[in-house]
Amino acid sequence: MNSFDIEKAFIELIQENERLIYKVCSIYVSDEFPIADLYQEVIYNLWRGFPKFRNECSVSTWMYRIALNTCITGMRKELRCPQRVPVHELKEYLIEPESMEENIQEMYELIHQLKTLERAIILLYLEEKSYQEIADITGLTLNNVAVKLKRIKEKLKKMSEN
Amino acid sequence: MDLEELKNTWMALDEQLKKNEVLNKQIVREMLYKKSNKSLNWLVNMEFMGTILLLFTIPLCFWLYNAPIYKNITAPKILFLVAIIFAILGVIWYFYKILKYLLRIDFSMNIKDNIQSVNEYAILIKKEKFVSYFIVIPVLSLLGIWGYYELHANLLLWILLTVALIFATLMTYWLYKKIYDANIQSIKKSLEELEELKEE
């Protein structure tokens, strides 16, 4: 494949999975990291990893890993470079979670109260991933995933009661 | 909102996103080429630059150590010798940080391993900051003062040394603050999460 074909294949992949990327970014949105910045960072890291992708895992597992890793570890202050060139059009097109319908906003408020790794687990759970897939993406053991999910469910229940 | 409701809302969000697909080729292309925030690469480059600077310091200090002007004066010789030792240890330290931590962070690997590498790297930076502030800068400053005292430096040179020391301290502070921006709170939070994982 020449570079033009690689770019074409990548753009198609991104277009097919733009909802996946949006959903991951939306659970890590904060004042410091608006959705457009996270989105751009994820796309960039996917692009960097794309030539190395060898189908050792499914495309979605690979994309979830890169997207979650970028949002959790890549955006940390100590790894962040101060310069960035934002794509302004992106800001116009992406809806901020806080400007969505009321029940969706409420859902995000609950999820944003969870810890970073818990957010990743609940996202994968809501995306109907199996325990094995969640374990593959996060690096946790199956038991650990089960225990964590149980705790997250209890935590969410308590939070919504309050 | 219980879990079932959460799932339904999540599906509603998915439906809304389906209707609202936004990415055209142009936007994706722009994101790929306009992007300059290569955070990890940039950090690795900074560490390599630090290593190169230290590597240059070694022959310079070695040359100063053997300079005839300091032939019979102890303090400057000790200063340059200590500087050489610090530089050699620094080079080893920088390579250790790059190879053991920074190059190990791979976004296509699982999240847990990456969080661990980032946290370990952040802890190293905290230790490095401590050593810089409380060992390297004070030791080199004291040796510098001793050297000036032995050389019977004039007032102008003393002022110059004071300014240089203040500048070096502020520069070190600024570098750590701006480049590494080690957010202790975020590290602590992540460490707590890792501890939780180990316990389970």
Choose the weakest-confidence range: A62-66, B111-115, B167-171: B111-115
% chain B with pLDDT above 90: 20
More confident residue, B183 or B52: B52
Give first-to-last CA distance, chain A, whole Å: 55
Per-residue pLDDT, B45: 81
Q: Which of A64-78, A103-117, B21-35, B81-95 has the highest mean pLDDT?
A: B81-95
- Give the residue from A37, A3, A19, A29 showing the smallest Cα distance to A108: A29
B38 contacts A81? CB cut-off 8 A: yes
* CA–CA separation, B19 and A15 (whole Å): 13
* Closest Cα in chain A, distance from residue B34 (Å): 6
**Residue numbers of B between 67 and 106 with CB closer than 8 Å to A:** 105
Give first-to-last CA distance, chain B, whole Å: 27
Number of CB pairs, chain A paired with chain B, less than 8 A apart? 191
A101 contacts B12? CB cut-off 8 A: yes
Average pLDDT score over residue span B168-197: 66
Nearest CA in chain A to B200: A144
Per-residue pLDDT, A136: 92
Q: What is the pTM of this model?
A: 0.74
B28 contacts A147? CB cut-off 8 A: no
Choose the weakest-confidence range: A60-69, A121-130, A143-152, B186-195: B186-195
| Half-sphere exposure of residue B168: CA atoms within 13 angstroms, side-chain side | 15
Per-residue pLDDT, A96: 72
* Closest Cα in chain B, distance from residue A112 (Å): 13
How many C-beta neighbours within 10 Å does residue A53 have? Answer: 16
Average pLDDT score over residue span A140-159: 90
B186 contacts A77? CB cut-off 8 A: yes
Cβ-nearest to B37 among A14, A81, A156: A81
Tokens of A53: 């992708």
A89 pLDDT band, cuts 50/70/90, is low
What letter would DSSP give residue A101?
-
Per-residue pLDDT, B62: 92
Average pLDDT of chain A is 84
- Tokens 């590494």, residue? B180
Q: What is the pLDDT of residues A13-32, one digit of tens each?
A: 888 888 899 999 999 988 87
A33 pLDDT band, cuts 50/70/90, is confident
pLDDT at B188 over 80: no
pLDDT at B36 over 50: no
Per-residue pLDDT, B75: 86
pLDDT at A99 over 80: no
B184 pLDDT band, cuts 50/70/90, is very low
How many C-beta neighbours within 10 Å does residue B104 have? Answer: 16
Average pLDDT of chain B is 81
The separation between CA B91 and the C-alpha centre of its own chain, rounded to angstroms, equals 13
pLDDT at B86 over 90: yes
pLDDT at A157 over 90: no
**Residue numbers of B between 6 and 35 with CB closer than 8 Å to A:** 6-7, 9-10, 12-14, 16-18, 20-23, 25-32, 34-35
Average pLDDT score over residue span B12-40: 70
- Give the residue from A65, A155, A112 showing the smallest Cα distance to B115: A65
How many C-beta neighbours within 10 Å does residue A119 have? Answer: 20
B85 pLDDT band, cuts 50/70/90, is very high
**Residue numbers of A between 37 and 66 with CB closer than 8 Å to B:** 40-41, 43-45, 47-49, 52-53, 62, 65-66
% chain B with pLDDT above 70: 80
ipTM computed for the complex: 0.83
pLDDT at A148 over 50: yes
**Residue numbers of B between 165 and 184 with CB closer than 8 Å to A:** 178, 180-183
B32 contacts A47? CB cut-off 8 A: yes
Nearest CA in chain A to B38: A81
Q: What angle do CA A21, A56, A72 make, to 5 degrees?
A: 35
Average pLDDT score over residue span B21-46: 67
Average pLDDT score over residue span B37-47: 70
- Tokens 């790794």, residue? A117
One DSSP character per residue, A26-92 reads HTT--SSS-HHHHHHHHHHHHHHHGGG--SSS-HHHHHHHHHHHIIIIITSGGG--S-----HHHHH
Cβ-nearest to B115 among A44, A73, A81: A73
